[in-house]
């Protein structure tokens, strides 16, 4: 991964700047300041691409932008003469269950924490601020905010209700939780109506469909038996 400054000059985060894994803290998110941009923590924002502008970044005092969307152009960064240039990280990863985001989890979460420790703020976005960018935010909350995956998901969903990492990303987050915390707080549950396993935190979305599917299946089997 490469991190660039406002004028696309490469900037590096040295290994000795990164915070050790065990240095976790608790946080409280403050009030969202710009519609469409969700503030998860005082130092962490999550959003979709359509609401980002150089003015918004300046208004929120964002110092690090992460763009996880190869289908988008580069994020518009503020160009004013600032004593602290905006860092920019682009991760070319599609919103597909088979895309491996986990290879970036440690590097990205460490960068976000380094920025926080130096008094900065990070904004993470993809196209809609629903799947890819949310996945990285959940990884950060697990590693540095003392939350397990279930807590991180419902905490983030309370602030940004539309979040919905795809099933593959959730499997990667479960593995990351196992790696970080030695436990798994979100189970995968098989739903026959869609012929796959889903995270149990999504069950309310599929329960009515599954119940309907099972009722229709029983009716169909009954008709077959009568014949």
Residues marked active site are found at: 126
User: Rounded to whole angstroms, what are the CA distances from 167 to 11, 46, 212?
Assistant: 34, 20, 22
Rounded Cα–Cα distance for residues 94 and 73 (Å) = 14
Q: What is the CA radius of gyration of the chain?
A: 20
Per residue, the 3-state secondary structure of 192-223, as one string, reads: CCCCEEEEHHHHHHHHHHHHHHHHHHHHHHHH
Sign of the torsion angle spanned by Cα atoms 86, 50, 142, 70: negative
153 sits in which H/E element: helix 149-159
DSSP letter for 129, please: S
Rounded Cα–Cα distance for residues 88 and 6 (Å) = 7
Task: Evaluate whether 79 touches 56 at the Cβ level (below 8 Å).
Answer: no
């Amino acid at each position: 991964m490469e991190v660039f400054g406002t004028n696309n000059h490469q900037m590096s985060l040295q290994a000795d700047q990164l915070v050790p894994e065990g240095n976790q803290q608790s946080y409280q998110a403050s009030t969202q300041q710009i519609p469409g941009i969700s503030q998860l923590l005082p130092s962490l924002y999550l959003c979709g691409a359509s609401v980002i502008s150089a003015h918004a970044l300046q208004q929120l005092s964002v110092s690090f932008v992460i763009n996880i969307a190869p289908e988008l152009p580069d994020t518009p960064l503020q160009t004013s003469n600032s004593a602290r240039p905006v860092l920019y990280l682009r991760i070319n990863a599609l919103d597909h269950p088979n895309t491996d985001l986990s290879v970036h989890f440690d590097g990205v979460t460490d960068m976000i924490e380094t920025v926080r420790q130096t008094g900065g703020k990070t904004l993470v976005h993809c196209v809609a601020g629903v799947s890819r960018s949310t996945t990285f935010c959940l990884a950060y909350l697990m590693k540095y905010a003392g939350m397990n995956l279930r807590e991180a998901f419902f905490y983030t969903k309370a602030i940004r209700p539309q979040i919905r990492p795809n099933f593959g990303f959730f499997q990667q987050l479960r593995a990351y939780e196992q790696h970080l915390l030695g436990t798994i707080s979100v189970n995968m549950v098989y739903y026959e109506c869609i012929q796959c396993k889903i995270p149990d935190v999504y069950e309310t979305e599929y329960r009515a469909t599954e119940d309907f599917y099972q009722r229709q299946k029983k009716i169909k089997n009954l008709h077959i038996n009568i014949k």
